């Protein structure tokens, strides 16, 4: 009988502690900026979600997020028979726990209309109740006037854009009136490649959010899986830092091991993730050298050789797995190689997208002495 009791006691030790611990999302900072992991779109029972607002904060803390926004629908509140409160209530309930856990909680709401123009989040608002307006443009103008950062949500959602994913005149009007600043390229489990190109052409900030309604573990529960999140490259870990970064378009969308953003942010992110160690020595014709890539991030980088180097071949395709060392082999194939002072290898990063057609291409430069 003894061992049973003992086993149970040991178990409890682990059980209890697991309740109080926080995952670490290992996406590195880049030069000049802190990389904040954020989810700016989620619901509670105060609109059509199924959890109390504190759950969103607790989930964020446990999963290692830095910042979130609860964005309950203004216009859609199916639990109103049992739940009665104004539009600021979910924020007010969540705020004390967010402060205590040091999760940055950004006050938000979702303006929820038919297409066009569809659904919009207003982030950094002061009073959600004032967004409850008959006309959608009035609501968005109010948000803008409160200083909100406004995002077009799930622009390719089949329920609103069943056949093609269109940019409507209404969106141009919003853009021209400073009432549209960002766009989701990932929402829940969906992906909108068109939105990447719009973001590039119209200078919108790219976002990836969950739009979660259920407890988070119900929808993202496969081992190794992570929920969609917006990587925000911020000058500080503060609400103000996030706001400045969003308005400056310093974000990368991250979901399902895929990163979407501008080369100016993704290239430093790639190199900050890796420690690159070439084996010493001169590469000669007929010989091989190794490059060790130690990946300190949670991302598996999928590389494909763009073109062979001058005088040597290199591993043509590889996955640089998270938290492992992966090896690239260079093999000299002409005498010319030994006379070069450095070797340049060009890889396409297949899970880093610049737009709907192009991937980031990185250059590994190896001294050859």
Q: Residue 174 in 3-state DSSP?
A: helix
Q: Is 54 exposed, middle or buried (0-12, 13-18, 19+ CB in 10 A)?
A: middle
In whole angstroms, the minimum distance from the beta carbon of 116 to a second copy comes to 26
**Which of 263/294 has CB closer to a second copy?**
294
**Which of 90/139 has CB closer to a second copy?**
90
**Which of 21/114 has CB closer to a second copy?**
21
Instruction: Tell me the C-alpha distance between 216 and 123, whole Å.
Output: 21
DSSP conformation class of 282:
-
In whole angstroms, the minimum distance from the beta carbon of 20 to a second copy comes to 5
Query: Which tokens go with 164?
Result: 């093609």
In whole angstroms, the minimum distance from the beta carbon of 29 to a second copy comes to 14
**Which of 310/325 has CB closer to a second copy?**
325
**Which of 64/308 has CB closer to a second copy?**
64
In whole angstroms, the minimum distance from the beta carbon of 175 to a second copy comes to 27
Cα–chain center distance at 134: 33
On the CB side of 331, CA atoms within 13 Å amount to 6
Radius of gyration of the chain (CA): 24
In whole angstroms, the minimum distance from the beta carbon of 290 to a second copy comes to 8
**Which of 310/327 has CB closer to a second copy?**
327
Query: Which tokens go with 368?
Result: 């050859």
Which residues does 352 contact at the CB level (< 8 Å), separation at least 6? 258, 259, 260, 261, 266, 270, 301, 359, 360
In whole angstroms, the minimum distance from the beta carbon of 171 to a second copy comes to 24
**Which of 17/176 has CB closer to a second copy?**
17
In whole angstroms, the minimum distance from the beta carbon of 250 to a second copy comes to 23
Distances (CA, A) of 356 to 13, 175, 207, 243, 248: 49, 21, 15, 26, 22
Short-list 293, 236, 306, 233, CA closest to 268: 233
């Amino acid at each position: 009988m003894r061992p049973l009791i003992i086993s149970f006691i040991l178990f409890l030790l682990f059980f209890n502690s697991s309740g109080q611990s926080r995952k670490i999302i290992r996406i590195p900072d880049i030069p000049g900026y802190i990389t904040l992991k954020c989810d700016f779109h989620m619901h509670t029972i105060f609109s059509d979600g199924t959890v109390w607002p504190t759950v969103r904060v607790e989930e964020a803390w446990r999963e290692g997020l830095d910042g979130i926004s609860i964005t309950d629908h203004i216009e859609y509140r199916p639990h109103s028979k049992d739940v009665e409160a104004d539009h600021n209530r979910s924020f007010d309930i969540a705020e004390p726990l967010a402060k205590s856990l040091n999760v940055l909680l950004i006050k938000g709401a979702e303006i929820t209309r038919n297409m066009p123009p569809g659904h919009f989040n207003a982030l950094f608002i002061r009073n959600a109740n004032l967004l409850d307006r008959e006309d959608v443009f009035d609501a968005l103008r109010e948000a803008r006037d409160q200083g909100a950062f406004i995002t077009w949500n799930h622009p390719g959602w089949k329920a609103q854009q069943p056949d093609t994913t269109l940019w409507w005149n209404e969106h141009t009007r919003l853009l021209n009136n400073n009432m549209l600043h960002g766009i989701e390229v990932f929402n829940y489990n969906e992906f909108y490649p068109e939105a990447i190109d719009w973001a590039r052409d119209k200078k919108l900030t790219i976002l990836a959010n969950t739009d979660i309604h259920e407890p988070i573990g119900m929808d993202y529960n496969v081992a190794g899986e992570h929920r969609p999140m917006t990587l925000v490259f911020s000058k500080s870990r503060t609400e103000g830092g996030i706001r400045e970064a969003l308005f400056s378009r310093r974000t990368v969308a991250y979901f399902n091991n895929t990163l979407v953003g501008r080369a100016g942010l993704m290239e430093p992110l790639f190199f900050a993730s890796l420690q690159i160690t070439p084996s010493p020595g001169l590469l000669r014709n007929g010989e091989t050298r190794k490059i060790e890539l130690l990946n300190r991030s949670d991302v598996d980088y999928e590389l494909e050789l763009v073109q062979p180097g001058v005088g040597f071949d290199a591993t043509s395709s590889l996955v640089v797995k998270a938290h492992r060392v992966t090896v690239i082999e260079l093999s000299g194939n002409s005498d010319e190689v030994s006379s070069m002072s450095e070797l340049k290898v060009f890889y396409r990063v297949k899970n880093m997208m610049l737009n709907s057609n192009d991937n980031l291409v990185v250059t590994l430069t190896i001294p050859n002495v």
